[in-house]
């Protein structure tokens, strides 16, 4: 007699969610027809996102129907604090992100001044970095 084996944790983990912000223009599969469309992200949730469709109207799109970015929203960040391993930056809405530089990598002079504005693309290029959201810390501070 065979006993049921619970699925491994690796099989039950959801796939990583794409990094979206409101205002991004994305490609997605239509929730009803399955046809590819594009539209602007209006809201982001746990199970998907709300998009203002290219042909008018709004659609609730699940994460598995996301196809890719058409155009990312231009984001501006203010450097809040700079440390040896990375930066703490804040966007216009007050959301904070941590930008981690690689060990031994020298940070550029343009990143040295706290309060200096820079686009996210500039931060990535200057630091060859990966971004980790600190939403949990921001929420706990509120």
1 confidence band (pLDDT: 50, 70, 90): low
- Cα 86 to Cα 71: distance, rounded to the nearest angstrom: 27
- What was the pLDDT predicted at 139? 46
Q: Can you give the C-alpha Rg of the chain in angstroms?
A: 19
Q: Collapsing DSSP states into helix, strand and coil, what is residue 44?
A: strand
pLDDT tens per residue, range 72-122: 888 788 888 888 888 888 888 888 888 877 544 444 544 444 444 455 545
Encoding tokens for residue 77?
Answer: 């960040």
Domain ranges of the chain: 10-71, 76-141
Q: How far is CA 104 from the centre of its chain?
A: 26
Largest CA distance in the chain: 68
Of the options 2.30.30.140, 2.30.30.30, 3.30.420.40, 1.10.10.10, the CATH number for the domain spanning 10-71: 2.30.30.140
């Amino acid at each position: 007699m065979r006993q049921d084996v619970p699925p491994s944790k690796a099989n039950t983990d959801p796939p990583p969610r794409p990094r979206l912000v409101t205002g991004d223009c994305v490609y997605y599969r239509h929730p009803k027809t399955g046809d590819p469309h594009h539209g602007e992200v209006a809201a982001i949730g746990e199970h998907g996102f709300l998009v203002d469709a290219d042909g008018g109207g709004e659609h609730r799109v699940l994460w598995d129907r996301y196809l890719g970015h058409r155009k990312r929203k231009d984001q501006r960040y203010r450097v809040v604090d700079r440390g040896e391993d990375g930066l703490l930056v804040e966007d216009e809405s007050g959301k904070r992100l941590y930008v981690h530089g690689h060990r031994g990598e020298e940070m550029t002079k343009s990143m040295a001044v706290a309060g200096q504005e820079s686009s996210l693309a500039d931060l990535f290029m200057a630091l060859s970095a990966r971004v980790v959201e600190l939403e949990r810390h921001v929420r706990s501070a509120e």
